[in-house]
Structure 1
Amino acid sequence: MEPLVEQGDGPVILAFPHVGTGVPPEVAVRLNAEGRVLRDTDWHIHELYAGLIPGLTTVTATQSRYVIDLNRDPSGASLYPGQATTGLIPETTFDNVPIWEVPPGPADVARWLEAVHRPYHAALAAQVARVRARHGVAVVYDCHSIRSRCPWLFDGVLPDLNIGTNGGVTCAPALEAAVCRVAAASGRTWVLNGRFKGGWTTRHYGRPQEGVHAIQMELAQESHLETEAPPFALDTARAADLRRTLTEILATLADLAPRLARA
């Protein structure tokens, strides 16, 4: 259950931990009807980012987050203590609706950590090391999306662009500021370190003092989907407009990265 890896020659790595829809048969038979919808998939995100700028490296999950969540701490520690969130193997949707007929136990966690979680992060770590060796710096841009309205997780309507740097510690200030400038100039709604401050990927890999910078981008799905309910179809017009903003963000990161290596 290895992830899909495409190696580019630039300094930016796109991580896609939640686009997978693969569900092993032994997991599928234990999901209930709601679970089999795979509602919390990051629908079409890898398509949204495809080919935006030259030289991108991509690491793309193939398995559903309901098998095991690749953006959660493998220890099971909560990313947001005291706030509603889903775990390493989710028990519910983002609407707090159960997804299991037969819930997973410790043996399931151990199995899918070994079969899915560790291979994904081994692949991502290998690309970080390769890119940093080539450029002296690597930028991990963690790609996500979520429904714009999830009352169990947050109040109101989520902005289009949700930038996460864990309070500014996972990347250089210049990178954070540059992404915010593009977001502000886009005319879209956006926030820095709002409800989503960066998950385990951003927090684990973001070591700017070692030349590895990490930023999470959580997109509200209404910015690019026809509907946030099944069949979760991509809206081509919305997607094309959003791709222009994302292209500018990635081009800005790729342009700034070599300067950080020389600093």
Structure 2
Amino acid sequence: MINFNGNLLFQENIKLSTENRGFKYGDTIFETVKVLNNKVVFWEDHYFRLMASMRMLRMKIPMEFTLEFLEQEILKTVKVQNEASSFRVRLSIYRKDGGLYTPKTNEVDYLIEANENAYQTKKIYSIDLFKDFYNFSGLLSTIKTNNRMVNTLASIFADENDLDNCILLNERKGVVEVSNGNVFVVKGTIIKTPALTEGCIKGIIRKKVIEILAKNKEYTLEETIISPFEIQKADEVFITNAIIGIQPITNYKKKVFTTEIGEKLASNLKVLQFVGN
């Protein structure tokens, strides 16, 4: 069942009009969260990112949109699904119908979808560059809007070339992220991830990994510009998102990576998921 503005409805009963602004203009933002054992993982981080995104896009935040209210709406949606312990939940918020580029109102509707999360990290995971189109740098690119065309085309390219994922580049040909998450590059004791100014999503698991590394004196974390050449020379590469957590990369072109640091960080992250936000 789907949660539409607080009402639980069967999917076939959800009716979106041709004036839906998410459909016509991509005027939508979303959060993808993991619900594990009836707990929304890292919910505070997701919530505050969502509120910041709504303010940036000049959406009117309803008074009832408290942290507790939206968390309960997510859990309410999960409870009417099957008996699985892990769910992938998408919370979409979009401006109400009407208007052309200028909306009739900045008030919003919301929609929550929940599906069983059966994802398992892969032992072999291959990536390559996607160079057909660029993910332009800038603050707007750090927000999870509904405009995911470059990500879609990169995913099609990966599927056509028997890859698991693709690295997106910005207009300066710097590494931004992968089609569904952030990316980290390890060389010796230095771990790099693209700076937000490169145009990457302000990922929640990216944030958590940075926090873990800040407490670990063994490694130095740099948020910086990364060239594709550095990936070729790296010891390890891993990607992050809210559903997979950390997925080590094993193959890039002819390069084979080790996975020790990525796996260690993945274990640390799992502990955080169970301990709390």
Q: TM-score, normalised by structure 1?
A: 0.28
TM-score norm. by structure 2 comes to 0.27
Higher relative contact order (CA 8 A, sep 6+): 1
Higher helix share: 1
Larger gyration radius, structure 1 or structure 2 = 2
